[in-house]
Amino acid sequence: MAETNNPPLPMIQAQIQIMPPSATFWECFFPALLAAAPIFLDALLKCLAKDDSSGYRPGDRTRCQ
């Protein structure tokens, strides 16, 4: 069996740098709120439409025509 000469693995040197803040809190808050809005509205509508009999809800359907 032929011998192969594998090159040595390169040394990985990770450098962790703490970046200085590039935006203020409020600059991040509103885009985040907008991004979450569809999820929030979807959950709200599902909760409102839930058939949990938790109150008397008179219907207004037409049934005599």
Partner 1 sequence: MQTPQDARDLADLLHDHPTIVLACLRHHRGGTYILAQTTDLPSVRSGNLPLKYKGLEIRYQEGPTIHPLILRLPACYPLSNYTRCQDEPIELGCQIQPAGANWLGTAGAPCAWEDPQGRRYGFLTNWHVAYRGPGEDVGRPQHQPTIDRPAIALLADYQRPNPATNNLCDAAICDALIEGYHTISTQIIGIGPIPAAHADAQQGDYATKAGRTTGLTHGRCTATGAAVRVDYGDFTAVYGDQDVYEGTDALFSGPGDSGSLILTTNRNIPASLLFAGGGKVTIGSPLRHVIAALGIDFDFSR
> Residue 3 or 51: which CB sits closer to partner 1?
51
Site stretch for partner 1 (CB under 8 A), options 2-10, 14-22, 39-47, 56-64: 56-64
The single-letter code of the amino acid at 38 is P
Say how far apart CA 49 and CA 41 lie, in whole Å.
Answer: 12
> Residue 3 or 52: which CB sits closer to partner 1?
52
Site stretch for partner 1 (CB under 8 A), options 11-19, 20-28, 31-39, 57-65: 57-65
The SS3 call for residue 41 is helix
Query: Rounded to the nearest whole angstrom, what is the least distance from the CB of residue 42 to partner 1 in the complex?
Result: 18
